[in-house]
Copies of this chain bind each other. A is one copy, B any other.
Amino acid sequence: MLGRTYENQLCSIARTLEVVGERWTLLIIRDAQLGLRRFEEFQDSLGIARNVLTNRLSKLVDEGLLERVCYQERPARYEYRPTAKAKDLLTAVLALMHWGDEHAEDPAGPPRITSHVGCGGNVRDQLVCTECGQAVRPDAVLLLPGPALTDSPA
Closest chain B CB from A135 CB (angstroms) = 8
Interface residues on A, range: 35 or more
Protomer copies: 2
B110 near A13 with CB under 8 A, answer no
Question: Across the two chains, which residue of chain B brings its CB closest to A8?
Answer: B47
Closest chain B CB from A38 CB (angstroms) = 18
Please tell me if A18 contacts chain B, counting CB pairs below 8 Å: yes
Closest chain B CB from A21 CB (angstroms) = 7
B13 near A100 with CB under 8 A, answer yes
Which of the residues B10, B90, B139 comes within 8 Å of A127, measured between beta carbons?
B90
A131 near B138 with CB under 8 A, answer no
B85 near A103 with CB under 8 A, answer yes
Closest chain B CB from A69 CB (angstroms) = 18
CB contacts (< 8 Å) of A142 on chain B: these are 114-117
CA distance A141 to B115 in the complex (A): 6
Question: Across the two chains, which residue of chain B brings its CB closest to A86?
Answer: B138
Given A88-B138, A90-B138, A128-B123, answer yes or no on A12-B146 (Cβ-Cβ < 8 Å): no
Which of the residues B104, B117, B131 comes within 8 Å of A16, measured between beta carbons?
B104
Given A12-B100, A89-B99, A104-B18, answer yes or no on A121-B129 (Cβ-Cβ < 8 Å): yes
Q: Which residues of A contact B (CB under 8 A)?
A: 2, 6, 8-19, 21, 23, 26-27, 30, 33-34, 46-47, 52, 85, 87-106, 108-132, 134, 136, 138-149, 151-152
